[in-house]
């Protein structure tokens, strides 16, 4: 976002001065840092949600099997650990392995 000063000199304005300028726009000079922050935060929130849902899914499955088989909290605990391990592997894959396979330098 370029701004021209009173003496005609051009400079880079760091913060928008008007609410209409808060909209995320495509800049031909490079990616908008705000857009990158929103994209990255959404991506990592999705990874965290995937981990949490895998724990809850396996925990619920273990609790359901415990009720059917009458085996107390054994399968619930095992399900929670399996869900945590599956969620951790998914998180590790998306953060470490997938960027390495794509050849990304940033992680």
Tens digits of per-residue pLDDT, 6-48? 555 555 555 554 445 555 555 566 678 888 899 889 999 999 9
The answer to whether position 20 is within a domain reads yes
On whether the pTM is more than 0.85, the answer is no
The answer to whether position 83 is within a domain reads yes
Number of compact structural domains in the chain: 1
The answer to whether position 107 is within a domain reads no
Give the mean model confidence (pLDDT) for residues 77-87: 96
Question: What residues have CB less than 8 Å from 47, skipping those under 6 apart?
Answer: 90, 91, 94, 95
End-to-end CA distance of the chain: 27
Closest CA to 25 of 36, 35, 38: 35
The answer to whether position 106 is within a domain reads no
Domain containing residue 85: 2-101
The answer to whether position 86 is within a domain reads yes
Ranking 3-7, 33-37, 76-80 by mean pLDDT, the lowest is 3-7
**The predicted structure's pLDDT at residue 14:** 53
The answer to whether position 69 is within a domain reads yes
The answer to whether position 35 is within a domain reads yes
């Amino acid at each position: 976002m370029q701004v021209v000063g009173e003496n005609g000199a051009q400079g880079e304005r760091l913060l928008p001065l008007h609410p209409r300028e808060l909209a995320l726009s495509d800049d031909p000079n490079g990616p908008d840092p705000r857009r990158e922050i929103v994209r990255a935060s959404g991506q990592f929130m999705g990874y965290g949600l995937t981990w949490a849902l895998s724990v809850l899914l396996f925990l619920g499955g273990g609790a359901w099997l415990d009720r059917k088989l009458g085996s107390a909290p054994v399968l619930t605990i095992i399900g929670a650990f399996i869900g945590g391990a599956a969620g951790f592997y998914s998180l590790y894959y998306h953060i470490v392995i997938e960027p390495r396979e794509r050849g990304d330098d940033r992680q």
